[in-house]
Structure 1
Amino acid sequence: MTKAADIELAAVSKVYGTATAVHAISLKIPAGTYCCLLGPSGCGKTSTLRMVAGHESVSSGDVVFGSANVTDLPPAKRGTAMMFQSYALFPHLDLVDNVAFSLKMKGVDKETRRAQALEMLKLMHLEPYASRRPAQLSGGQQQRVALARALITKPEALLLDEPLSALDPFLKIRMRAELKKLQTSLGITFVHVTHSQEEAMALADLIVVMNEGRIEQADTPRTVFERPATAFVARFMGDHNVLSGRIVERTADGLFIEVVGGGRFFALGTAPVEDESADIAIRTDHVRIGAMPADGLGFDGIVSNVEYLGAKVKLTVTTAFTDEFTAVLSDAAFFASPVRVGEGVTLSWDQPDSIVLGRIVK
């Protein structure tokens, strides 16, 4: 395979008429990285991927591969390959001809391109099915054919647009493992668009969380999970509760906020001196049921929902200042002192589990 190159976006924007889909984002994806662009529908992640691929023009800014500015180059000249959500396989061709199609378009002779296609099918463990057509394959097998067809061009980067969305849950998990194994063995850069937090966490070396055409956070999965940069990231990843309030006191290591409806809460971290309000996040899996601790990090509320999820139980609590505050407990912790919907409960947490969040300037 071709040696991977860094991919850099420098203040890249995409404007459709009067609507801006991507707002001057800057991002560097190191060579050989598995990068996931993560966010809800309409956040700009697919537009960003298509601008990297060259399938969408850049309104302003630059796309750089290694030391080469490829902003104005067509897709075929960029050293990338794209795998589309639909797989876009040719139904009338067998697997060999499907995989070899791009080489045929480049004028590679039949014997050479078929030999290379068979090598790619072997890599995907599909060699026994070489004479079949796409309709005779399962969804997972079709996906591997699409991967083989993209990789036969020996790209520096493989771009994947929601590649697992059409698969059933069990196959998704299996194909996640296949994708990661493949990227590791090939050593090239993968840029993968998804709206699934679980998918991004399982696959990525670098998660780029997008919202309304902006990058909210770009970091390792562990950092995004444990230290969300903004309230949006904390809520979207689903592992933190977010409280917003007025800053009433600043200390050497944190600050206190006062929330509407009552309640004063401390969090570690800082906010700009000009800010009068702040968002804080509390880890859902570090919230406990029980008596209020001496430091007062907790509150009383009413249980509004209980979800048993096997190894854990998800508890939703309503209070005077928020309709939804979540605690994720181990099954042992919950059933040691179970509660029901409508019952009163005291929730608490330790100081390190509450952090001050940043804010994106718009």
Structure 2
Amino acid sequence: MSKAAEIDIVSVSKVYGATTAVHGISLKIPAGSYCCFLGPSGCGKTSTLRMIAGHESISSGDIRLGNTVVTDFPPAKRGTAMMFQSYALFPHLDLIDNVAFSLKMKGVDKAERRAKALEMLKLMQMEPYANRRPAQLSGGQQQRVALARALITDPEALLLDEPLSALDPFLKIRMRAELKKLQKSLGITFVHVTHSQEEAMALADIMVIMNDGRIEQAAAPREVFEKPATAFVARFMGDHNVLTGRVTSSGNGVLVMTVPEGQSFSVRGAGRAVGEAVDIGIRTDRVRLQVATEWTLGFNGIVSNVEYRGSSVKITVLGAGSDDFTVISDDSDYFARPVAVGEAVSLSWELDDALLLGRSSA
């Protein structure tokens, strides 16, 4: 396998007519890392992946792979390989010829390309099926063949466009583990587009969360989980509640924020002026169904939904300007004192479980 390359995205934009799909983003993806682009539909993640691959032209900016600016290179000259969401296997060819196809296009002789294709199928544990056609395979097997076909060119970076979306939930989890293992054993850079938070958390060394053509946060999964950069990231990842209000006072490294409904909440932080709009995030698993004391923060609300999840229970509450304030309660704690939809409840959390969020750059 060839060595991995760092991918450097420098002020890259993509404009389609009057629509800007990607707004001047910059990002360094370290060589040999597993990077996941994550975000809602239409956020620009697939356009970015296709620009790295060369399947989409760049409106402005540059992409560098290792020390080479590849902005104007065709896909085959970039040192990247792309695995498409649909797998795009040729139905009339057996697996060896499917995997060897790009080498055939490069004029590699038949014996050599077939030997290399068999080697790749062996890597994917698909050698016993080498003479089958794609229609005779399961979804997970087709995916392995598509991976083998992408990797046969010895790319420095493998680009994956929602590679697990067509698989059933059980197979998704298994293939996720296999992708991670494959990336570690090959040591090349993987760039993977997904809309699944769980998938990105499980796979990524670096998560890139996009919204409306911009990068909201690029960091290790644990940092994104524990310290979402903006209200968008906090809401999108789903592990923080977000309350929005204005600063009413500040001092000793603590801001007091008041929501339009009148409740006030403290958060550690500084550098925000009185009257300035702020967002605070509160971890869903750190909120307790109990009355706030002089040592804790909280508010009273009405239960709007209760979902049993096995080891935990998700309780949704209306209050403090939020219509989906979430409490993730341990199942034993919840069943010791269950609550019902429509019931009034008191919620509380510690000061250190609240986080001052940044504002998205518009």
1:307 maps to 2:307: yes
- Between the aligned partners of 2:358 and 2:275, the Cα distance in structure 1 is 11
Matched with 1:249 is: 249
The equivalent residue for 2:109 is 109
Give the CA deviation at 1:227.
Answer: 0.2
Aligned to 2:96: 96
- Structure 2 residue 27 is the aligned partner of structure 1 residue 23: no
1-side partners of 2:271 and 2:169: how far apart?
Answer: 41
Letter matched to residue 158 of structure 2: L
1:60-98 deviation per Cα after TM superposition (whole angstroms, max 9, x unaligned):
001011111110111011000000000000000000000
- The answer to whether the Cα contact below 8 Å between 1:263 and 1:321 also exists between their aligned partners in 2 is no
Q: Deviations over 1:178-212 (max 9, x none)?
A: 10000000000000000000000010000000000
Tell me: CA distance 1:360–1:275, structure 2 relative to 1, closer, same or farther (3 Å): farther
> Given that residues 246 and 274 in structure 2 are in contact (C-alpha distance below 8 angstroms), is that contact kept between their aligned partners in structure 1?
no
Structure 1 equivalent of residue 321 of structure 2 = 321
Please tell me whether the aligned partners of residues 52 and 63 of structure 1 are also in contact (alpha carbons under 8 angstroms).
yes
Q: Superposition pairs for residues 1-362 of structure 1, below 5 Å? A: 1-273=1-273, 276-319=276-319, 321-362=321-362
Deviation at 1:254, TM superposition (A): 2.5
Instruction: Pick closer, same or farther for the CA change 1:60–1:305 going to 2, 3 Å.
Output: same
- Check 1:272–1:361 CA distance in 2 against 1; reply closer, same or farther (3 A cut): farther
Amino acid across the alignment from 2:48: T
Deviations 1:259-312 (A, max 9, x none): 011100011223444871110000000000112222340111111100000000
CA gap 1:109/1:210 in 2 versus in 1, 3 angstroms: same
User: After alignment, is 323-332 or 223-232 more displaced?
Assistant: 323-332
Question: Counterparts of 1:251 and 1:79 in 2: how far apart (Å)?
Answer: 54
Q: Cα gap change, 1:3/1:320 in structure 2, threshold over 3 Å: closer, same or farther?
A: closer
Q: Report the 3-state secondary structure (helix = DSSP H, G, I; strand = E; otherwise coil) of the residue aligned with 1:289.
A: coil
TM-score by length of 2: 0.98
Partner SS state of residue 323, structure 1:
strand
Is this contact kept in 2: 1:270–1:356, CA < 8 A?
A: no
Give, in whole Å, the separation in 1 of the partners of 2:270 and 2:219: 20
How far 1:351 sits from its partner (Å)? Answer: 1.0
| Runs of 4+ off more than 6 Å | none
Distance across 2 between alignment mates of 1:142 and 1:271: 53
Q: d(CA) in 2 for partners of 1:148 and 1:361?
A: 40
Deviations 1:228-276 (A, max 9, x none): 0000000000000000101011123231100011100011223444871
For the residues of structure 2 that align with 1:256 and 1:276, how far apart are their CA atoms? 11
What percentage of aligned pairs have identical amino acids? 71
Range 11-20 or range 321-330, more displaced: 321-330
Quick one: which amino acid aligns to residue 201 of structure 1? M
**Deviation (angstroms), 1:150:** 0.2
Measure, in 2, the Cα distance between the counterparts of 1:328 and 1:312. 6
Cα distance, 1:179–1:304 mapped onto 2, change above 3 Å = same
Is the 8 Å Cα contact of residues 271 and 358 (structure 1) preserved in structure 2?
no
Q: 5+ unaligned residues in a row in structure 2: which ranges?
A: none
Shift, 1:359, TM fit = 1.1
Q: Which runs of no fewer than 5 residues in structure 1 stay unpaired?
A: none
Q: Does the aligned pair in 1 maintain the 2:160–2:193 contact within 8 Å?
A: yes
**TM-align CA RMSD:** 1.0
Q: Which amino acid aligns with 2:235?
A: R
Aligned length: 362
CA distance in 1, matches of 2:284, 2:178: 31
1:274 to 1:89, Cα distance in 2 relative to 1, 3 A: farther
Q: Structure 1, residues 30-59: CA drift from partner, whole Å, max 9, x if none?
A: 000100000000000000000000000000
